[in-house]
Amino acid sequence: MRRLLPLGLLLAAACKGPAPDSPAAPQAAAPSVVVGARLRRLPLGFPNGSRISVEVAEDERSRELGLMFRTVLEPDYGMLFVFPDEQELQFWMKNTFVDLDMLFIGADRRITVVHANVPRSRPDTSDQAVARRGGRGRYVLELAAGEAKRRGLRAGDLLDFAP
């Protein structure tokens, strides 16, 4: 389960399910749908001129599911989370089984924060030990761990995409 905490309030936007201390917090389980099967894709360009295809999580359900339960991410793959407005965001990485780089991106498409090598969770990871990362943005791009460094990405860089 991943959780989004905009402005300190838990919302099921980019997060996954109820708050970690909620009695309704589900246990890790295999998803009942094919992950990412219905998400649209769009090209995203980096300052160095390279491009990748990203899945777009732009509604509450797709942001909630995100990259949960995936066990492999290709180097030229990403998921772009799109929110209605720029805001303070926090992701809780429950049931995210791959290490990630997370880039928080402002409405102007400039990177505001880079979180490199965010550790994966495991089915037995306690809610308190699950990684949390935050920053200000309207978008969040998740890449395979190490991709931000490999591509030389840092705060202030402008990304090329049209959500």
Q: Would you list the domain boundaries of the chain?
A: 2-17+42-150
Helix (H/G/I), strand (E/B), else coil: 63: helix
Q: Is 108 exposed, middle or buried (0-12, 13-18, 19+ CB in 10 A)?
A: exposed
Question: pLDDT, tens digit, for every residue of 115-135?
Answer: 999 999 999 999 999 999 999
Per-residue model confidence (pLDDT) at position 25: 37
pLDDT of residue 73: 86
pLDDT score at 38 = 76
**Segments of the chain with pLDDT less than 50:** 1-36
For the domain spanning 2-17+42-150, the CATH number is 2.60.120.1140
- Return all residues near 7 (Cβ < 8 A) that are at least 6 apart: 87, 88
The CB density around residue 38, as the number of other CB atoms within 10 Å, is 9
Give the length of the chain: 163
The answer to whether 36 touches 55, Cβ cutoff 8 Å, is yes
Phi, psi dihedral angles at 149 (to 5 degrees):
-65, -45
Amino acid occupying residue 113: V
pLDDT at residue 11 in the model: 31
Among 64, 128, 52, 130, smallest CA distance to 97 is for 130
Residue 91's CB is within 10 A of a number of other CB atoms, namely 29
Q: Is the pTM of this model over 0.85?
A: no
